[in-house]
Structure 1
Amino acid sequence: MSSSPSPLSARGSRLALLVVGLCWLAVLFDGLDMFIYGSVLPHLLETGTFGLTPDRAGDLGSYATFGMLIGALAAGTIADRIGRKKLMVSCVALFSLASGLCALADGVAVFGLGRTLAGVGLGGLLPTAISMVSDYAPRGRGAIVIGLLMTAHHAGGILSAYVAKWLVEPVGWRAAFWVCVLPLLFAPVLARFLPESLSFLVAKGRTEEARALAARYDVEVPAARSAKAGPGERWANLVTLFRGREWTQTLLYWLASFGGLLLVYGVATWLPTLMRAEGYELGSALSFVVVFNLGGIVGMLVAGRAADRFGAPRISAIWFALTAAGVYLLSVHMPMTVTMIVVFLTGVFLNSAQTMIYATVSIRSHPDNRATAVGWTSGMGRFGAVFGPWLGGQLLASNQGDWGFTAFALAGVSSMVFIGAAALRTPPTAAQDGPREQQLAAH
């Protein structure tokens, strides 16, 4: 299957830079909003805010990921129908306003509603942004561009730790959520400057608009593809993912994403609290969040380059194996320096392992079906994201925190198996595509 068109001139790189830059900022705010709950959670538990206990805190963490499940499942289909730009702007506005609701909450019900609504926006933004940058990625560089985009998510995680560190103790936890409302100011910027996907414009018959955009930045207009289904068939793009032998690939991606997101969001929600349970002060526990996300940034860049050379599914499988080892080691009491190194390396492998699943799906998908493929892979994985925070809360509530690391490590092993199986298979349509498509499908 082919990747989307790539810039073919020096001037064309301006378009890729513009798209990646704007999407990077949007995903930065996504990461800030996602990680802020885990960063303030130790304070909420320590002060008994809303009468929180570890198991109820785990439930609250799952509310956001449940919202992300809804957002991710809906995003691909909606983006393929109305456009990725409009959806991205809507998602940024939604999770920003929802954070304001959390800041104003006077009880668990309102706070939980805010986190759920924020999750819908967060879940819809990420797969849409990945699809958008994939449209403009240079040929053979799809994985590294997606990896670069995902560094923003971890930069947002680092920012959340500092927001919590600087504001929670002196001002209160509500101030941290008010900071998460500020991305609302970015929505008009996104609406003004982010171009629409060229492949989307062509697929919708808006060829003059696509030509004008392409002429402005001196890039090629993608060739129109014949429609696979009538416009009235709402689920046509989803059905395409199960045609022929593609259903096995689709299920392998979904299962790998389930384990990967269980691991990602379980650790993201509970890492500061688990480290507090190990005897570290709040400041030190938040430092682990910073180190973990610094590792995530490094991992995205390393994994992206490695995936472009050796194949995204192969790199993802190796990374999940290394992640499982690192997460398991966190259950062992070690000197502070060694623990920091393990947390950093775990961040390197954990976050990029899941992203390489998205890279695999994105690169192997047709442009007119890419948002649906990535969105549903992310969406089905969100079941794991919902389960991870809940599982961590249940284990902590029963004083079995160490088993949390073991459970998360086993999730990493399962994702290694599923994406590894996908790596051994060649997409059945690859043989029918041209040489460039076969080269990209190998990734």
Structure 2
Amino acid sequence: MLFDGLDMFVHGSVLPHLLETKTFGLTADQAGDLGSCATFGMLIGALTAGTVADRIGRKKLMVVCVTLFSLASGVCAMAGIGLGGLLPTAISMVCDYAPRGRGALVIGLLMTAHHAGGILSAYVAKWLIDPVGWRAAFWVCVLPLLFAPVLARFLPESLSFLVAKGRTEEARALAERYDVELPAAKGGRQAAAERWNSLLNLFRGGEWIQTLLYWLASFGGLLLVYGVATWLPTLMRAEGYELANALTFVVVFNLGGIAGMLVAGRAADRFGAPRISALWFALTAAGVFLLGVHMPMGVTMAVVFLTGVFLNSAQTMIYATVSIASTPDSRATAVGWTSGMGRFGAVFGPWPGGQLLAAGNGEFGFTAFAIAGPSSMVFIGIAALRSSKPAARSGADQELVGAH
């Protein structure tokens, strides 16, 4: 997840250098298109990963995704597919093994590594671009190849996948080792049917409304996350800050993301992930809007930090909501499709920043992104009200979402 975050943020950290040095003759609007192309690859990865993971196993898919995005970072063109597949699969895995009553917190802890990667991206840009060149920043992202064999050797497989495959004794041993509840076993035909029907189950009965609300909230959330992540250093330079300070904002933003994951995870386990997500999106909109106002450096740093606190964990709490509310055997599919449909927002997110900069209106970039906050707040807020009638969940999840 550390390198997942590095790969996500490194484009934004390198972008001011590419624009300033006229590398490839890149213009601001073309840079926005480039960012959208990368997130389109992530959309494909996220949409397919959940379904594939529920079929072949989450451990296998995680190893494949890490290998793919590491190799692809060397050539950049296909890096998005591996990145998009890793996130929902990793969230599903940690939720399988989360202690009772701590599902949202554990997901938040996982995502702190993602934002540590964002911090690393700024330092990689500072340390490598001038002496070595911008390509070196992407070669650093190949390093996870060293960890793929470690994942393959030591990472336990999903309990629900093992049970569905009839490997009950292996699943029971893992459940005892990690002190978690063993998912109920199902017959072979039933398990196979559920794998094929896991996507359709998101729309049966009244579930289609809840599913649509999650997807719409995720669209706005990822538009904000990827729009701000791509353009934060460049837009801050447009506000008159030096490049060194603009990269420092990336570090502060991701430090806020780490703090926000820990705070939001605990709060979500107590008050409900949808409610926390809705509140966080409202605060995010205020923070992103204020980034477009030139303020004293100390105040600006505080606003960047708080925006990182709320923005990053608001989106993660959508994933936590879906993961906790899903049955174990369809969890990866539900999270994957929520992430995947949200990736349409991620694809669109970098584009308006590029268009505004190309038109000489960079000062309105943050205002444009801030609009997405209230929309996601409304959608996840309605989902929070509807979730007072709980859907079918595993016994281990009931305690987590009973207050929703």
The one of 30, 48, 56 equivalent to 2:4 is 30
- Is residue 2:387 matched to residue 1:413? no
Equivalent in the alignment of 2:44: 70
Q: TM-score, normalised by structure 1?
A: 0.87
Counterparts of 2:182 and 2:143 in 1: how far apart (Å)? 36
Q: Which residues of 2 match residues 191-340 of structure 1 at below 5 A? A: 191-214=152-175, 220-225=181-186, 231=192, 235-340=196-301
How has the CA–CA distance of structure 1 residues 287 and 251 changed in structure 2, closer, same or farther, with 3 Å as cutoff? same
Q: Which residues of 2 match residues 100-249 of structure 1 at below 5 A? A: 100-102=74-76, 114=77, 117-214=78-175, 220-225=181-186, 231=192, 235-249=196-210
How has the CA–CA distance of structure 1 residues 384 and 432 changed in structure 2, closer, same or farther, with 3 Å as cutoff? closer
Deviations 1:253-304 (A, max 9, x none): 0000000000000000000000111222211110000000000000000000
Deviations 1:48-84 (A, max 9, x none): 1111000100011011100000000001000000000
Counterparts of 2:13 and 2:253 in 1: how far apart (Å)? 12
Contact 2:352 2:365 in 1 (8 A): yes
How has the CA–CA distance of structure 1 residues 436 and 293 changed in structure 2, closer, same or farther, with 3 Å as cutoff? closer
Deviation for aligned residue 1:235: 4.3
Deviation for aligned residue 1:441: 4.5
Deviation for aligned residue 1:433: 8.0
Equivalent in the alignment of 1:393: 354
Counterparts of 2:94 and 2:131 in 1: how far apart (Å)? 40
Equivalent in the alignment of 2:319: 358
Contact 1:363 1:441 in 2 (8 A): no
Q: TM-score, normalised by structure 2?
A: 0.96
Q: Which moved more, 1:271-280 or 1:38-47?
A: 271-280
Contact 2:100 2:396 in 1 (8 A): no
How has the CA–CA distance of structure 1 residues 228 and 265 changed in structure 2, closer, same or farther, with 3 Å as cutoff? farther
Counterparts of 2:122 and 2:370 in 1: how far apart (Å)? 24
Contact 1:426 1:442 in 2 (8 A): no
Equivalent in the alignment of 1:402: 363
Q: Structure 2: give runs of 5+ residues left out of the alignment.
A: none
Contact 2:325 2:393 in 1 (8 A): no
How has the CA–CA distance of structure 1 residues 257 and 134 changed in structure 2, closer, same or farther, with 3 Å as cutoff? same
Deviations 1:166-220 (A, max 9, x none): 1111211011111111111111111111010111100222213323434555655
**Residues paired across the two proteins, number:** 404
Counterparts of 1:227 and 1:427 in 2: how far apart (Å)? 33
Q: Report SS of the residue matched to 2:157.
A: coil
Counterparts of 1:150 and 1:442 in 2: how far apart (Å)? 23
Counterparts of 2:166 and 2:144 in 1: how far apart (Å)? 33
Counterparts of 1:227 and 1:306 in 2: how far apart (Å)? 39
Amino acid at match of 1:340: M
Counterparts of 1:427 and 1:224 in 2: how far apart (Å)? 28
Counterparts of 2:121 and 2:372 in 1: how far apart (Å)? 26
Q: Report SS of the residue matched to 1:250.
A: helix
How has the CA–CA distance of structure 1 residues 433 and 344 changed in structure 2, closer, same or farther, with 3 Å as cutoff? closer
Q: CA RMSD in A?
A: 1.9
How has the CA–CA distance of structure 1 residues 230 and 297 changed in structure 2, closer, same or farther, with 3 Å as cutoff? closer
Contact 2:97 2:178 in 1 (8 A): no
Contact 2:227 2:346 in 1 (8 A): yes
Contact 1:246 1:428 in 2 (8 A): no
Deviation for aligned residue 1:31: 0.4
Contact 2:326 2:393 in 1 (8 A): no
Deviations 1:327-359 (A, max 9, x none): 001111111111111000000000000000000
Share of identical aligned residues, percent?
83
Amino acid at match of 1:370: R
Q: Structure 1: give runs of 5+ residues left out of the alignment.
A: 1-26, 103-113
Contact 1:35 1:269 in 2 (8 A): yes
Equivalent in the alignment of 1:11: none
Q: Report SS of the residue matched to 1:172.
A: coil
Equivalent in the alignment of 2:71: 97
Counterparts of 1:323 and 1:118 in 2: how far apart (Å)? 28
Equivalent in the alignment of 1:59: 33
Amino acid at match of 2:280: W
Contact 1:260 1:354 in 2 (8 A): yes
Contact 1:431 1:438 in 2 (8 A): no
How has the CA–CA distance of structure 1 residues 74 and 220 changed in structure 2, closer, same or farther, with 3 Å as cutoff? same
How has the CA–CA distance of structure 1 residues 431 and 274 changed in structure 2, closer, same or farther, with 3 Å as cutoff? closer
Amino acid at match of 1:140: G
Equivalent in the alignment of 2:302: 341
Deviations 1:356-415 (A, max 9, x none): 000000110000010000000000000000000011111111112122211111101100
Counterparts of 2:306 and 2:36 in 1: how far apart (Å)? 26
Contact 2:118 2:254 in 1 (8 A): yes
Counterparts of 2:108 and 2:365 in 1: how far apart (Å)? 28
Deviation for aligned residue 1:426: 2.4
